[in-house]
Structure 1
Amino acid sequence: MFINPKHLVQFVEVVECGSLTEAATKLGLTQPALSRNMKELEAQMGIPLLLRGKTGVTLTELGMRAFPYAQSIHTTLGRLSSEAETWDKGQVGKLRIGAGPFPASILPKILSDFLEHRPGVFASLEVGGVLALSKKLQNGELDLVVGPTGLESSATGITARKLFSGRLALFAAPTHAIARKKKITAEDLSSSRWLGTPPDSVMRRQVRANHIALGMPRVNFNIEISSIESAVDVLQVGDHLAIMPEPPMRRAVAEGKVMELPVKLPIAQWPIVISHPELSILPPQVMDFIDALEAAFRDEKTADPSQARD
């Protein structure tokens, strides 16, 4: 026996309204159409459900027994519809983010603001090397990765959106001997100790390219880190140099912990992108977060002012 659930929902409305005419108006139906649906429901169930009179409708004895079940279905379908609408608006679901060290220093505030009005969204933020994170993205273990450009082109089904073009710069402690020099030579740089990111990182590749372009084929990296905060701490107390993205170092510079050295890097651009699968297969909450990221990085307080509107 097939019972049309839509007719059960309408049956509940008829009983609660006590009138076919009133229920039809509430449901957006004509009275004859609703009356026909009720007769079909009674035929499907094989029992009379409603007593029709001049003053409205009432339940038969069998209708009284069937009504609680219809109410339960009505409530369940209403909740399902609400959940579906909530999901479609990106209010529930998982958000799995991967980020390189530089974006990871900015993402927590953006993510917190995004989740404030989405209590049904569970987010995770994995910080690491962008090469490893990119593999997880391709394997479906992450929804998006925020990091330097150049990785997305080799991945099938992965696309990218540019957030902004940052700038790389050379940093040291204000007390570093090289900071007191009026002119900094390649020999000064090559004889210094350097702080670097892991050898397999995208940042290390670009730093290496700058060293070669500056005439320093061999550089002494004796500390490796993958955190912006740790880099600041090491630079502040040690005698190291480091090429780092400029935007996340601004606060440390303003606080006098480190300083930017007057050395023009040959390869200074540092494009940051969001890598993700094709938009057509992304859940709504992921697409909404991508939009939120783009809006946040358009803010000149976050991005490099000289590149914010690229």
Structure 2
Amino acid sequence: MNPNHLKQLAVIIKQGSISSAAEQLFVTQPTLTRAIKQLEQKVGAPLLTRTRYGVVATEIGERLGKVGEKILLDAEQSEEIIRQWHSGFHNEFTIGIDPLWEYAAVHQTTHAFLQDPRYVFHLRTGSAAAQIELLLKGELDFIIGPAHLTVAQRGLHREVVFRDRAAIFAGARSKLISQNNDVMTSDLSRSKWFIAGANAGFMNHQHNVAPNNAAKISFTGSIHSVMSLLKTSEMLVQLPARLALMSGALQPEQMLNIKDMPSQPRRDIALWSRINETERPDALRIRQLIFDLLQNLDQSTPEFGLEL
């Protein structure tokens, strides 16, 4: 089966139109039509169905189209590898980054990676649980993310480097900010809440700080929306305190000091990797680079009165 025909099928399905696909692929419509007919002869069944809105894939067409998508992605990756090789780069490392870490430490992180001219770095931001899954599959080389996760960790190496603890932050319009030294848990129960990092193995719940007032909105993966709400609303959220304040987007007085509440849970950041990859010389070099970045930030970031 001609792999190029499968790629063309994938583009047709995505575009929903043979004419649009031909334009994208820089070929004629008759060329695409012949390619699909050759595939259909091989399969012995139609791959596309014409509708008033364009073409849609049949069941077998959909399955073959997914194969074509993978071929397209592999081809694009091959082109990028060639460009990297011509540019003198030795290897590429894909690193998963926690959304709040990216938001708070983007300049320090990119500066650290730019110091090594031998490697290319692909940074992927996402929820902790999804990042761990990709690491286990070998699609990520490292993760800069939460240290305390309720996900399977067999085969992974975790080293806690950046110390942090959760805290409750109030939106800039909250009346609780003005009475910060006298805030009680009863005040929290009367406030509006939202959740950041819900179902990501990072901020699983509010730790019963407001048992009678459940959060109505949650955000997973998005930190810009979280910070916007904290700048413009009166809502409360629980966040890793040092990272949140290190970002500069929040004021220290927005971190509430609740008199009748014990210390909030730890929200440390760890460097994650696969155990079977720790012996590769280039991987060891990049691992040390990331470790030094996290350690330097841990030592230079204020503790903001947290029990670390």
Report the aligned-residue RMSD.
3.2
Structure 2 residue aligned with 1:277: 274
- The total of aligned residue pairs comes to 216
- Aligned to 2:158, what secondary structure does the other structure show? strand
- Aligned to 1:261, what secondary structure does the other structure show? coil
- Say which of 225, 237, 245 aligns to 1:242: 237
User: Do the aligned partners of 2:128 and 2:202 also contact (CA within 8 Å) in 1?
Assistant: no
**Pair 1:196-2:195 in alignment:** yes
Query: Where in structure 2 are the equivalents of 1:199-238 lying within 5 Å?
Result: 199-205=198-204, 207-209=205-207, 212=208, 214=209, 216=211, 218-238=213-233
**Pair 1:178-2:176 in alignment:** yes
**Pair 1:262-2:262 in alignment:** no
Question: Sequence identity, in percent?
Answer: 18
Note the C-alpha offset of 1:138. Answer: 0.5
Q: Deviations over 1:34-86 (max 9, x none)?
A: xxxxxxxxxxxxxxxxxxxxxxxxxxxxxxxxxxxxxxxxxxxxxxxxxxxxx
Note the C-alpha offset of 1:234. Answer: 0.9
Note the C-alpha offset of 1:134. Answer: 0.4
Note the C-alpha offset of 1:237. Answer: 0.5
Residues 165 and 245 (structure 1), Cα distance of their counterparts in 2 relative to 1, 3 Å cut = same
Q: AA paired with 1:146?
A: I
Note the C-alpha offset of 1:271. Answer: 2.0
Residues 260 and 153 (structure 1), Cα distance of their counterparts in 2 relative to 1, 3 Å cut = closer
Query: Where in structure 2 are the equivalents of 1:44-123 lying within 5 Å?
Result: 92-106=90-104, 108-123=106-121
**Pair 1:301-2:303 in alignment:** no
Note the C-alpha offset of 1:272. Answer: 1.6
Choose 176-185 or 158-167, whichever is displaced more: 176-185
- Say which of 120, 132, 135 aligns to 1:134: 132
User: Do the aligned partners of 2:191 and 2:213 also contact (CA within 8 Å) in 1?
Assistant: no
Note the C-alpha offset of 1:196. Answer: 1.0
Residues 103 and 251 (structure 1), Cα distance of their counterparts in 2 relative to 1, 3 Å cut = closer
Choose 218-227 or 116-125, whichever is displaced more: 218-227
- Structure with larger Rg: 1
Higher strand residue share: 1
Q: AA paired with 2:240?
A: P
- Aligned to 1:200, what secondary structure does the other structure show? coil
Note the C-alpha offset of 1:258. Answer: 6.5
Q: Deviations over 1:172-192 (max 9, x none)?
A: 134312223352232321221
User: Do the aligned partners of 2:148 and 2:202 also contact (CA within 8 Å) in 1?
Assistant: no
Q: AA paired with 2:183?
A: I
Q: C-alpha separation between the residues in 2 aligned to 1:258 and 1:305?
A: 10
Q: C-alpha separation between the residues in 2 aligned to 1:185 and 1:175?
A: 18
User: Do the aligned partners of 1:173 and 1:258 also contact (CA within 8 Å) in 2?
Assistant: no
Consecutive unaligned residues of structure 1, counting only runs of 5 or more, are 1-86
Q: AA paired with 2:138?
A: G
Q: C-alpha separation between the residues in 2 aligned to 1:97 and 1:121?
A: 12
